[in-house]
Structure 1
Amino acid sequence: MPSRSLSHSLRRLWALDKFSYSLRVFIALSGSLLLCWSQGWIQALIPLFLGVIASALAETDDSWQGRLGALLVTLGCFTAAAYTVEFLFPYPWLFVSALALSSFALTMLGALGERFATLGWATLILAIYSMIGVEQRGGSAALWLEPLLLVAGAAWYGVLSVIWNALFAHQPVQHSLARLFRELGQYLKLKAALFEPLRQLDVEQRRLALAKQNGRVVAALNATKEIILHRVGNGRPGPKVSRYLKLYFLAQDIHERASSSHYPYNELAEAFFHSDVL
């Protein structure tokens, strides 16, 4: 019995998307720490950590092939940002002008889509990390080393992410479906609360909470649909993807039925106040 409960708890933990993300970051940081500790490179630890964090912030959902391509683009942007900061930092006016232009360009890049927005944001963060490193170092010593360590940390996490995605290709779909059914379950609870046999029930407040939760369910439905369709592409879905599609359509059907039904809740509460019907 305890082993079954432990297994159930581990499965619930594995179904949380933040858990696998946190586990990857933990493995990457632990690997960097072990490497620096064993080789006596303690001074390289902080740049490696910052590179891992920036790469984790730039991570987006994709297949392992798509994630590999995104990693190469990310490393290119990170390298350009880190070395630009290193070379221009001694020249304040050039540095400020380049920083303003790059910040504007990377922000506008987000208009092309969520993935580009994530990449632009992570690149800006890595540039800030580079600025902090140059300021703390207080000179042009190790001009090439610190950006290289930042990019190496980012590459280490990126490779780990690609391998993880190749081993657990359908995990993002499972996480998205789990999140969808959690939001749908909360929606049904709020919907059921409207049927409580209470006099002078504040229906409007509960309707407002229901409407907010409905927005979260719709957002979860759209996110899940995008992830599943991205897995399908132009080909026919495999057995696993077909099963996920059925679960998605089931959630969509439940949501449509629950959201399309409306009743005079106060009148029902008055009529069945002394009854077990509600």
Structure 2
Amino acid sequence: MSKVKKIVSFLFLSLLVVTVLSGCKGESVANEDIATRIKAEPVITWGVKYDTRLFGMMDIKTREVEGFDIDIAKAITKEILGKDGKAEFVEVTSKTRIPLLKNGNIDAIIATMTITEDRKKQVDFSDIYFDAGQSLLVKKGSHIKDIKDLTSNDTVLAVKGSTSTINIRKHAPDAKILELENYAEAFTALQSGQGQAMTTDNAILLGMASENDDYQLTGGTFTNEPYGIAINKGQDAFLKEVNTALRKMHDNGTYNQIFEKWFPKDAEGRAEKGAQF
């Protein structure tokens, strides 16, 4: 064998070994028992949104993500791991959150994620931690007062990978749909006139309306969209700890305090509705 062939063969075998080892490492991380690991290393890594006002939004000044989901994740971490426990956050989108969870990059998803039967085939969900429902955001003075007002002349803006598109097709089959990468892009498209309405869960739309006086929610909710914390299948012990923490937070008033912090206008009569235990 020539010297060149030997070098090529050596490089090929080296690359093969690295690839195999990397694959094994990724697989081991994804299959690692989280409940056992966090006892030795008191850190829980949460997948959260960075673009969803009131739930998960990056503060440009502090460079920290803030919101209802963030505070709930921190409180759960404290309940499970104690005062020395640390909550770390990784940005996810509607498209990337499940792949990141399945690959072991994050331990759990708390990112305005609706519990659905299809998603249950891929992940397990905690108890409901927030009751939401799909609604419409429109410019004030819009002719759209209700979901029934959407016609073939109207374009509804939604986010890729969410359940919103499916629900619009069901409740307003004649309306056109334009899907964007994230909520910020969808709202920008609404402002620029690319659509007549934006749709997603009412909680997310409330955050947008609270910062933009020219826009409002209309028609109430037309679906039931309960939020759950997604955890990879096979992590039963960790799932149990999360549910136990949520119950304790409800019983000791921590949940209601967080709810009232982010939804003060809706606190009366909605704090109890926000989660079901």
Normalising TM by the smaller chain, what interval?
A: under 0.3
TM-score in terms of structure 1 length: 0.23
Larger strand share, 1 or 2? 2
Larger helix share, 1 or 2? 1
